[in-house]
Structure 1
């Protein structure tokens, strides 16, 4: 790929909204690190230092906040009339719907915009215009503890729901406390739930983009989970509605979990604890699932300060192949551009990420282009675990969530 630095002149509408004086851009970004030593601030400081050397008329101030705080911080700035020039956070649709963002075509050079993976570019659209610029991605696959599988006499990963239930039962008989970790707690229940709903052939929306949470397939999927895994004691001592993703991942890394659905970051955590894991496509009802969950975080450019040209120049640099690869490798996420994805796929040093990278073209993402998604996601986080609880009713829970979704969609 030609470096984005050489294509700045191809910006859609090259005229700057700002004057000729020096410009300071403000970027608010999320922290992907697990400690101060590997904070994303380190990545941004290096990238900004290199950019400013090439662009002496532009300074970039980057403020990094934890995922718990970053969305609220940006919201606070916007509400105060002090929007940053750019924000790298979890959702963009609300700001786009209010007319606060530049579309991608007004800030990015054509080669950079065209380099986004198509399914990610599509997920960044509102009313057919791309406002969300994918920044980092991940997919989910089934991971399993090879040692626990061997001890239970299991010689391959499950390919169907029936296989998974049988393997979970064998793991339980072998003394594994949590045969399958099912994190439907409020931290990220919307992810685990969607992974399963996709494996059942449905999801949160239908083929035309309308909410369809109470579809026949979704009811069937959650009913199977409740009857064949949860009620049979195959999901461990913590109720799924109370189990968060981070806790499930930590338990897997300690060697206490037979199987779970996971993103790439678990690879490093398990390796550090000496747990040898295997990966496989998520099982489906009658064969391996044709689709998997894809998750993306987003970059967006605010109009408020009128720094369109400078924002575009900086973002072209951010999305240069080597910078995308550097961030992806540092924080165990997947590249969002075709050029960086191909480079990662060809590099043997990235072989551990191959199972996740290979699933990216088949991924389905949250309906983040819907302004209503934030409210629907919050409701799913709080309620979906009830569907598989003792005495839970999948039909009732999904119908209630569908009502929430339709009301939120109507309000938006």
Structure 2
């Protein structure tokens, strides 16, 4: 999830290769249509490549659906957005892309809307908060493929050594309790009491979680940017003065990536950090005894929401295969197919029935599933977000530097960039 931390590893040349799954024609004379699907790589190598999932799914669909075949190309996360951009500009748009934000294409009228493609049953089955995050002007173009939410992880062994409770009910519920826990961990000799990754890899995620916990967000209810809101300024002043300034996190958060923070947690060097479900798998492999807070600790009490992340499927109009795309996507979003992918990578399903089925078998994921309904997402429906996100990754770390530029100045500069980009968007 560009936003995904561990899931962004390059797949290598084999994973990026096109995978023709059928020798069927291109629909130009034999009555058959071959759909072109471009999808992101979620694996870290050949052993867990996404290629196998899409290859099996496409083959199964083609075998049971007369006249439609599917060609699949798997591309590493760090390359897929740029490559699809090139495909579109060169007049070779895929029929379907599973990747990051969709708004840049929907704003140019390049995408089919969801109601032009999917059955009513499939449309109605999306988790409402995720469906809403895929809308532009109340029309859904982005179909949420997989999702994730974030919560506070803590190392039980380190907590116990610091004299802190280890049950989820005892985890920090507000900023004061988080600060007290971080100080206790430091006094007990913990190397990094709270991991604060504001480096360029995924600074936008850490930032949004802290904004939410402080009562703010990137945008307001009508979609206007609010980066320099009073709440967000207060949040970063608190982070700078109470965590970074007190030596309770990394010395240089602006140079620290989430991958580093996760790796340090798995090594047992971090007391607390915000994480997503994939971190559970890695921590278990290294025998880390960890807990997960039931809610995000907020400014004055537990936060009622947290950050949600979705990766999107979008369908391009260029090749005119609306009916065939719709049939394939209805198949993609069947529960069996959704759960096969999400369970492979410890992600969350995006359908109501998928969430219900996963809840029955994966109780450890329940806290993350519970928060999907109220999660706050990136403003992926704004074409300006790509530029804002890029600038935020470069600058937001400065707002947490002890003795550095005042947070209000950093946030005001980012707000100016956002408003400028948003004006061009209109």
Measured in 2, the distance between the counterparts of 1:149 and 1:126 equals 44
2-structure distance, mates of 1:143, 1:35? 27
Structure 1 counterpart of 2:102: 92
1:261: Cα distance to partner?
0.1
Aligned partner (choices 110, 119, 124) of residue 120 of structure 2 = 110
1:261 alignment partner in structure 2: 274
Q: Hey, what does 1:271 align to over in structure 2? A: 284
Q: 1:77 aligns with which of 87, 104, 110?
A: 87
Shift of 1:207: 2.0
Determine whether 1:153 maps to 2:175.
no
Other-structure match for 1:324: 338
Distance 1:96 1:207 in 2: 21
Q: Secondary structure at the match of 2:371?
A: helix
Match of 1:31 among 41, 44, 52: 41
In the alignment, does 2:245 pair up with 1:235? no
Q: Deviations over 1:45-86 (max 9, x none)?
A: 111121111013111011111111111111110010000000
Distance 1:307 1:19, change over 3 A: farther
Aligned residue pair count: 393
With the length of structure 2 as denominator, give the TM-score of the two structures: 0.91
2:322 aligned with 1:312: no
Q: Say if 2:407 is the partner of 1:407.
A: no
Report what 1:248 is aligned to: 261
Measured in 2, the distance between the counterparts of 1:295 and 1:20 equals 42
Q: CA deviation at 1:276?
A: 1.2
Hey, what does 2:67 align to over in structure 1? 57
Structure 1 residues 313-360: Cα deviation after superposition (integer angstroms, max 9, x where no partner) = 00000000111111110111100000101111122xx11211111111
Instruction: Note the C-alpha offset of 1:141.
Output: 0.1
1:355 paired residue number: 367
List, as ranges, runs of 4+ consecutive aligned residues in structure 1 with deviation greater than 6 Å: 17-20
- Secondary structure of the residue that 1:217 maps to in structure 2? helix
Deviation, 1:189, is 0.4
What SS is found at the alignment partner of 1:261? strand
Kept after mapping to 2: 8 A contact 1:137/1:297: yes
Q: CA RMSD in A?
A: 1.2
Unaligned runs of at least 5 residues, structure 1: 1-16
Structure 2 gaps of 5+ residues are 1-26
Tell me which residue corresponds to 1:375.
387
Corresponding residue of 1:12:
none
Q: For the residues of structure 2 that align with 1:180 and 1:20, how far apart are their CA atoms?
A: 61
Q: What SS does structure 2 have at the residue aligned with 1:81?
A: coil
Whole-angstrom distance in 1 between the partners of 2:156 and 2:53: 34
Deviation at 1:19, TM superposition (A): 8.0
CA contact (8 A) 1:177 1:236 kept: no
Contact 2:250/2:256, CA 8 A, preserved across alignment: no
CA deviation map 1:87-126 (0-9, x unaligned):
0011100000001000001111110011111111111011
TM-superposed deviation, 1:299 = 0.2
CA distance in structure 1 between the aligned counterparts of 2:30 and 2:113, rounded to whole angstroms: 23
Q: Which residue matches 2:236? A: 222
Determine the C-alpha separation between the residues in 2 that align with 1:328 and 1:208. 31
> TM-score, normalized by length of structure 1?
0.94
Report the secondary structure of 2:376's partner residue: strand
Matched residues in 2 for 1:332 and 1:250: separation?
Answer: 17
8 Å Cα contact 1:18/1:307 also seen in 2: no
The 3-state SS of whatever aligns with 1:290 is coil
Structure 1 window deviating more from structure 2 (140-149 vs 376-385): it is 376-385
Residues 231, 19 of structure 1: CA spacing in aligned structure 2 closer, same or farther, 3 A cutoff? Answer: farther
